[in-house]
Homo-oligomer: A and B are copies of this chain.
Amino acid sequence: MLTYDLDARESGPKYRYLYRCIRHDIRTGTLAEGARLPSKRALASHLAVSVSTVEQAYDLLVSEGYVFAKPHSGFFVAAGRVEGGAWRDDDADAADEPAPAIDLKANRESMGLFPAESWSRVMRGVLADRDDDLLDTIPFNGLAKLRASIAGYLREFRGISASPARIVVGAGTEYLYGKLLQLFGPTAVIAMADPGYKKLALISRGAGTLWEHIPVDEEGISIDGLRRGRADVVHVSPANVFPLGFSTSAARRAALLDWVRERPQRYLIEDDYDSEFDFDSRPQPPLFTQDDSDSVIYLNTFSKTLVPSIRISYMVLPERLMSVYRDQLSFYSCTVSSFEQLTLARFIDEGYYERHVNRLRRHYREARERMLELVEASPLSVIATVRRPSVGTHLLLSVDTRLSDGEVRRAAAERGMSLAMLSDYCEEPTVRTSQTVVLNYASISSERAPGAIDLLADVFRDDIARVRRREARN
């Protein structure tokens, strides 16, 4: 029987230590190819740990290919990945790297708020009804039912009047953005905001499409910058100039619509991401509703408002672009399974989605206030000026520090914290965009927030001490 001293581990969960022990024995050949591992129950009893500890260790070994399961007969050591049965460390060690204890970048917190109970109930309803749509081939742009639900939602909550025939459903915004690039063709140049979503440039490069970064001023993306460039397509998020978190001014919106109207080949992609979390009392309507030149593409996702593992986004195309899409790209199969499309359609139609978004908005509003109070009560307040974006789920902390942005990130990482700086979102960082922490409160529970703020203050402890000394002298 395999014998390991689980108390000898220095830190981390038992199952991971057990996984490492067994992996070591497989790599060194102590456990040979084809060898049968003890049953989970037997090993658990032998090592005096719970069955679930062994189970998790085995799961990890299986998922990394060291071990394979034969249905109804047990777990066996797999053949090595390269000749001679030796094991190569391709991603094994990457998987071993601990996740940061505090991740202020990902949207982990919202996952706990996902209405799993209601979603499951709706799902069971869809299963019970055995809709024909479940088994039929899906139209290229998504099931008519889901497109109708989305159209209804847009009408009611964004004031958008969109025919379901002009909606395209796809597995994520990245996917739909890629399809748009195909529509625009290889000679298109795409303008995108700086700072902004850095993935857009990656996707454009991947598709072989040229792009330009256009600076953002206090009203939104720069029209002068746009006019100096040679792009005919611009990607903007008017409701949420990301990550600066303000809404594009009315004048700038009008100027954007003027720009797009000037030439027939121009298009504007309105990415309405996070517009659900607009805390302004009177948010402006989407540009899409003011477009009289059939040139605005509306784009949004359910992955942020529901949960990142549900991959459903959609876009509303201008009529003229929809007919090109139909001609050129409708041979691509829809990328979202019908089961999830039907579940989401009902989830919207029965009011669950609206209630969930409202609940999430309330939650984020409270989390924002709480985070603000924490920062103000902490030593951080000595060196940080807090900006509270009206849209989105983060605060911006301009800090008076002698550390470079890279040094801040490293110091945070040393303390087990993953941190984003405003310059991470910039193509060309400037003085204005440096030394600013992007504090995403959607990523952390209220219980853990105080600890995170303490750690952050510790990152800047020298600066805090310096400013305090200076203030004491004055």
- Tell yes or no: A111 within 8 A of B by CB: yes
For A137, the chain B residues whose CB sits under 8 A away are: 106, 308-309
Contact (Cβ within 8 A) B309 A133: yes
A334 to B336, CA, bound (A): 12
A91/B326 in contact, CB under 8 A: yes
B residues in contact with A224, CB < 8 Å = none
Which listed residue (B130, B145, B156, B338) contacts A59, Cβ 8 A? Answer: B145
Complex interface: chain B residues within 8 A of A328 (CB)? 206
Copy total for this chain = 2
A309/B339 contact (C-beta < 8 A), A63-B144, A161-B78, A319-B90 known: yes
For the complex, is A64 an interface residue (Cβ under 8 Å from B)? yes
A174 and B340 contacting across the interface, CB-CB below 8 Å: no
Q: Which residues of B contact A403 (CB under 8 A)?
A: none
Chain B residues within 8 Å of A165, by CB: 64-65, 90-92
In the bound assembly, the distance between CA atoms of A69 and B148 in angstroms comes to: 9
Task: Quote the shortest CB–CB distance from A184 to chain B (angstroms).
Answer: 12
Q: Decide yes or no: A136 and B164 within 8 Å by CB, A63-B147, A120-B127 being known contacts.
A: no
Asked whether A65 and B331 contact (CB < 8 A) given A134-B309, A135-B114, A309-B134, the answer is no
Contact call A163/B90, Cβ cutoff below 8 A: yes
> With A69-B152, A116-B130, A152-B68 as given contacts, are A171 and B311 in contact (CB-CB < 8 Å)?
yes
Query: Can you show 20 pairs from A to B with CB atoms below 8 A apart?
Result: A62-B148, A62-B152, A63-B147, A64-B164, A65-B166, A68-B151, A68-B155, A69-B148, A70-B156, A116-B130, A116-B135, A123-B127, A134-B309, A171-B171, A182-B207, A206-B332, A207-B207, A207-B208, A335-B335, A336-B337
Compute how far the CA of A351 lies from the CA of B322 in the bound complex, rounded to whole angstroms: 43
B69 touches A349 (CB 8 A): yes
Q: A32 CB to closest chain B CB, in angstroms?
A: 15
A378 to chain B, nearest CB (A): 29
Q: In the complex, what residue of chain B is closest to A123 when comparing beta carbons?
A: B127
A124 at the interface (CB under 8 A from B): yes
Q: What residues of B have a CB within 8 angstroms of the CB of A123 in the complex? A: 123, 127
Residues on B with C-beta less than 8 A from A133 are 309
A332 touching B174, Cβ below 8 Å: yes
Indicate if A81 sits at the interface (CB-CB under 8 A). yes
Q: Check if A186 is an interface residue, CB within 8 A of chain B.
A: yes
Given that A90-B163, A133-B309, A337-B310 are known contacts, is A208 also in contact with B208, CB under 8 Å in the complex?
Answer: yes
Interchain nearest-CB distance for A415 vs B (Å): 23
Is A39 part of the contact surface with B, judged by Cβ < 8 Å? Answer: no
- Beyond the given A134-B309, A303-B333, could you list 12 further A-B residue pairs with CB under 8 A, ordered by the A residue number? A62-B148, A68-B152, A71-B351, A90-B166, A90-B322, A123-B127, A135-B307, A138-B308, A208-B208, A311-B337, A312-B337, A335-B335
Query: Is A88's beta carbon under 8 Å from chain B?
Result: yes
How far, in whole Å, are A420 and B31 apart by their CA atoms in the complex? 55
> What 1/0 mask marks residues of chain A from 173 to 201 whose CB sits below 8 Å from any chain B CB?
01100100010001000000000000100
Expressed in whole angstroms, the Cα–Cα distance for A147 and B164 within the complex equals: 36
Contact A138 B309 (CB under 8 A): yes
The contact string, 1 if C-beta is below 8 Å from chain B, for chain A 68-108, is 11110000001101100000101110000000000000100
Complex interface: chain B residues within 8 A of A155 (CB): 68
Residues of B within 8 A of A112 (CB): 135
Instruction: Please state if A339 and B310 are interface contacts (CB–CB under 8 Å).
Output: yes
| Complex-state Cα separation, A308 to B338, whole angstroms | 9
Contacts of A203 in B (CB 8 A): 332
Q: Taking the nearest CB of chain B, how far is it from the CB of A82, in angstroms? A: 8
Partner among B163, B323, B338 whose Cβ is within 8 Å of the Cβ of A65: B163
In the complex, the chain B residue whose C-beta lies closest to that of A312 is B337
Contact in complex: A81, B319 (CB < 8 Å): yes
Q: Which residues of B contact A309 (CB under 8 A)?
A: 133-138, 337-339
Whether B335 contacts A311 by the Cβ 8 Å rule is yes
Considering the complex, give the chain B residue whose CB is closest to the CB of A165: B91
- Collect the chain B residues with CB atoms within 8 Å of residue A166's CB: 65, 90
Interface: A172 (CB within 8 A): yes
A216 interface residue per 8 A CB criterion: no
A333 to B202, CA, bound (A): 13
